[in-house]
Chains A and B, each alone.
Chain A
Amino acid sequence: MFELLGVPPQVLFGQLLLGLINGSFYALLSLGLAVIFGMLNVINFAHGAQYMLGAFAAYLLGQYAGIGYWWSLLLAPLAVGAFGIVLEKTMLSRLYKLDHLYGLLLTFGLALIIEGVFRQVYGVSGQPYPIPALLQGGQNLGFMFLPNYRGWVIVASLLICLATWYAIERTRLGAYLRAATENPVLVQAFGINVPVMITLTYGFGVALAGFAGVLAAPIYQVNPLMGSNLIIVVFAVVVIGGMGSILGAILTGFGLGILEGLTKVFYPEASNIVIFVVMAIVLLIKPAGLFGRER
């Protein structure tokens, strides 16, 4: 049996697959960030908190309304997206004329407040959320045991990522959106309601975070801190992929998940910094990110 750097191939395949699963979350979250940054020029620091809200929405729907996982997968992102729209309408929209930094500060403050409220009410140990009956159990792939639910996470994430990419890059609505970011005044002159479009885009980006939160709920504890643990990594992913690049966010998300998975085999102590090392290198060599355009 051949070995690669002292690691048997079964172990390596297993870790690659696990990396892909973690990458699914990175891709979904960085996609939302990229959409928001690309269209609104807002660095949405509340993304982690909105991801956590998605998980909590699923938990609360199950706890108080008896609504199961599948309906939550639809309803929780809608609820979180609606919450995002309220934030955009009441607060964020006032800051567009100012520097990016103000949007960042506002969303960062909102994230701290939202997380603080949930921590106060629910503590930090987290709430359990069961895996839906349909996806319990797993498949023996020979080189590893793949829980059905994790397989579903990859499929769901890929579907949503591709659909989003298609909608923005290949449809008429997407073309309006892209045009509105280039020149909002001109697009408005053609009779398109740009402010409403921007509001809906923010709502959609936030709903993506909520969707990722529902996907994560059965794997991790539903925990007020779950977003703040992830958000910094996701920002690094967006920076590496290129701020605002849709395809860059998706590919980098999956790619870095795999890289992180490999690090966990060869040098686990470094697994939480490897992404930042890559970020530093990318910033040195290609400051606009792997898929970004220099402005």
Chain B
Amino acid sequence: MLKTFLLAGTAIAIGAGAAGSASAQISNDAVRIGVLNDRSGIYADLSGEGSAVAARMAAEEFGGNIAGAPIEIVVGDHQNKADIAANTARQWVDTDNVDVVADVPNSAAALAVQEIMRDRKHILLMSGPGSTDLTGKACSPYGFHWTYDNYAMAAGTGRAMYEQGNEKWFFLTADYAFGHSLENETTKMVQSLGGEVAGTVRHPLGTADFSSFLLQAQGSGADVIGLANAGSDTTNAIKQASEFGITQAGQNLAGLLLFITDVHALGLEAAQDLMLTTGFYWDRDDATREWSAKFESLHGSKPTMVHAGVYSAVRHYLQAVKDAGTDDADAVSAKMREMPVNDMFASDGKILPNGRMVHDMYLARVKKPSESQGPWDYYEIVSTMPADQAFLAPADSGCALVN
């Protein structure tokens, strides 16, 4: 009796061992993806829960598991604070067995998380942040910057505005890592073309009243006011510029980073004719329309480029895990770099040695109310910027991984 019991026990143990071997290379028998972003503050609409929805959509394409190991999505709110972001990432990686962290808007938060992930040898998929330092002096062999960056914004919107005759710039800059970087990239772009910068004001993140800064910008005599900020900072500035007659008096506005949720919040009346650069627009082709319709049915709004980028990055990561047959960070990063990125977000996207994923970017104009067919029909794509022009060459990035 006792003998039979022991035998049965051994049989179960062997069976469990055999089942385990199918996913032996997946650590802790699960692929755990942590979507870390702002879920309650000013960037919650452009990233937030939508990014988690996008990651789940990517996981679903793999049937929710890789070689029998389930794909799990966990979420975290970093509240736009670098220390909270760093602590969450550290806890996820050290104690919760999270394999990869995704999104991380707010460059200050992303820079902090990049350090932790490099140290712990875990992959970081960045869709939300804009700072070029993430693939420059703070680059990491495990850090991938996916959707856009401030150089691309400068190369797109900055150049286009200059070519329309806006030679003298004034910057309204969000006073933290992201704003500084965006201002810096655009300044370099404008100066290289022969333009000049008349002045800059740096405002705290989450400013409600921009009238004082706008008046200073008006007094500077600049041709164009470059908004080196994002989210509700940008929408408030645009709304108040129109209220104070800035644009009517002949000064132009350049929203250097504008998301479709910002345009939605402003309404076309206030946002019409703004030029912007984007990595994704839902109404670009059949594949983007189909994916976006599914996203909308799950989330209630069309995706921003950040949402689409999270999907693309997570999908690419999962494909690499599947092909490499392991979730070991070195093997998976090598595989990710080897494969071209082909999905509804990017065609023939490539990952450069500094971790920058390069793909086509789009220069768009916000439609007039009369041109729009309905909700979310907001952009007219003016031109496509090929991948090699949209992003900084790795050799110029200052990344130590590039020789």
Which positions in A face B, CB cutoff 8 Å? 8, 10-11, 14-15, 18-19, 21-22, 119, 123-128, 131, 138, 144-145, 147, 149-150, 219-221, 223, 225-226, 229-230, 261, 264-265, 268-269, 271-272
Known: A124-B42, A124-B44, A128-B266. A138 touches B245 (CB 8 A): yes
Q: Select which of B204, B215, B231, B301 is within 8 A of A269 by beta carbon.
A: B204
Taking a contact as CB atoms under 8 Å apart, the answer to whether A223 and B202 are in contact is no
Q: Which of A10, A18, A123, A138 has the most CB of B within 10 A?
A: A123
- Decide if B264 touches A125 in the complex (CB within 8 Å): yes
B212 CB-CB contact with A under 8 Å: yes
Known: A123-B45, A124-B45. A145 touches B204 (CB 8 A): no
When the two chains form their complex, are residues A264 and B213 in contact, meaning their CB atoms are under 8 A apart? Answer: yes
Contact B202 A269 (CB under 8 A): yes
Output the least CB separation between A4 and chain B (Å).
14
- Top 4 closest A-B pairs, CB basis? A125-B265, A264-B212, A272-B204, A128-B267
Contacts of A145 in B (CB 8 A): 244-245, 249
Interface centre among B42, B175, B212 (most CB of A within 10 A): B212
Complex contacts, A265 vs chain B, CB 8 Å: 212, 216
Whether A229 and B206, one on each chain, are in contact in the complex, defined by CB atoms closer than 8 angstroms, is yes
User: Is the CB–CB distance between B243 and A147 below 8 Å?
Assistant: yes
Interface bits B296-320 vs A (CB < 8 Å: 1, else 0): 0000010000000000000000000
Q: Does B23 contact A (CB under 8 A)?
A: no
B294 at the interface (CB under 8 A from A): no
Q: Which residue of B lies closest to A140 (CB)?
A: B245
Q: Tell me how far the C-beta of B230 lies from the nearest C-beta in chain A, rounded to whole angstroms.
A: 11
Contact A229 B40 (CB under 8 A): no
Additional 12 contacts, C-beta under 8 A, given A14-B215, A127-B265 = A11-B215, A18-B211, A21-B211, A123-B261, A126-B235, A128-B239, A138-B245, A145-B244, A145-B245, A150-B211, A229-B208, A264-B201
In the assembled complex, the Cα of A225 lies from the Cα of B38 at a distance in Å of 14
How many B residues are at the interface, by size bracket? 35 or more
- Assembly CA distance A223 to B208 (angstroms): 11
Chain B contacts for A150, CB-based, 8 A: 211, 243
The reply to whether B261 and A268 form a contact with Cβ atoms under 8 Å apart is no
Residues of chain B within 8 A (CB-CB) of A219 are 209, 239-240, 243
**Which residue of the partner chain, among A10, A19, A220, A225, contacts B42 with CB atoms under 8 Å?**
A225
Q: Is A11 within 8 A of B266, CB to CB? A: no
Q: Is B82 an interface residue (CB 8 A)?
A: no
Total of A-B residue pairs, C-beta within 8 Å: 105
Beta-carbon contacts of B201-228 to A below 8 Å, as 1s and 0s? 1111011110111011001000000000
| Assembled-state Cα–Cα distance A208/B267 (Å) | 29
Q: Which of chain A's residues have a CB closer than 8 A to the CB of B249? A: 145
- In the assembled complex, the Cα of A229 lies from the Cα of B45 at a distance in Å of 17
Sampled A-B contacts (12; CB under 8 Å): A10-B219, A15-B215, A18-B212, A124-B231, A125-B46, A145-B244, A220-B208, A221-B235, A225-B41, A225-B42, A226-B208, A265-B216
Tell me the bound Cα distance from A145 to B218 in angstroms: 10
Query: Within 8 Å of chain A (Cβ to Cβ): is B236?
Result: yes
**Structural contact, A131 and B219, CB atoms closer than 8 A:** no
| Residue in B40, B245, B265 whose CB lies within 8 Å of A221 | B265
Specify which chain A residues have a CB less than 8 angstroms from the CB of B245 in the assembled complex.
Answer: 138, 145, 147
Chain B residues with CB under 8 A of A261: 212
B243 touches A131 (CB 8 A): yes
Q: Which of A11, A126, A264, A269 contacts B232 (CB 8 A)?
A: A126
Expressed in whole angstroms, the minimum distance between the Cβ of B47 and any Cβ of chain A is 11
CA distance A150 to B215 in the complex (A): 14
> Is B103 positioned at the interface, with any CB of A under 8 Å from its CB?
no
Option from B41, B45, B203, B206 in Cβ contact (under 8 Å) with A271: B203
Which residues of the partner chain A approach B202 to less than 8 Å between Cβ atoms?
268-269
Expressed in whole angstroms, the Cα–Cα distance for A8 and B219 within the complex equals 10
Q: How far is the CA of A149 from the CA of B211 in the complex (A)?
A: 13
A221 touches B232 (CB 8 A): yes
Query: Least Cβ distance of A16 to chain B in Å?
Result: 10
Residues of chain B from 163 to 209 with CB closer than 8 A to chain A in the complex: 175, 201-204, 206-209
Known: A220-B208, A225-B41, A268-B201. A125 touches B216 (CB 8 A): no
Does B329 sit within 8 A of A, measured CB to CB?
A: no
Residue in A closest to B207 when the chains form the complex, CB atoms: A272
B261 touches A125 (CB 8 A): yes
Residues of B within 8 A of A144 (CB): 215
B270 within 8 A of A: yes
A119 CB contact (under 8 Å) in B40, B232, B239, B262:
B40
Does A268 lie within 8 Å of B232, measured CB to CB? no
Once bound together, how far apart are the Cα atoms of A5 and B68, in whole Å? 70
Q: Write out the residue numbers on chain A whose beta carbons fall within 8 Å of the beta carbon of B203.
A: 268, 271
Interface 0/1 of B251-266, CB less than 8 Å to A: 0000000000110111
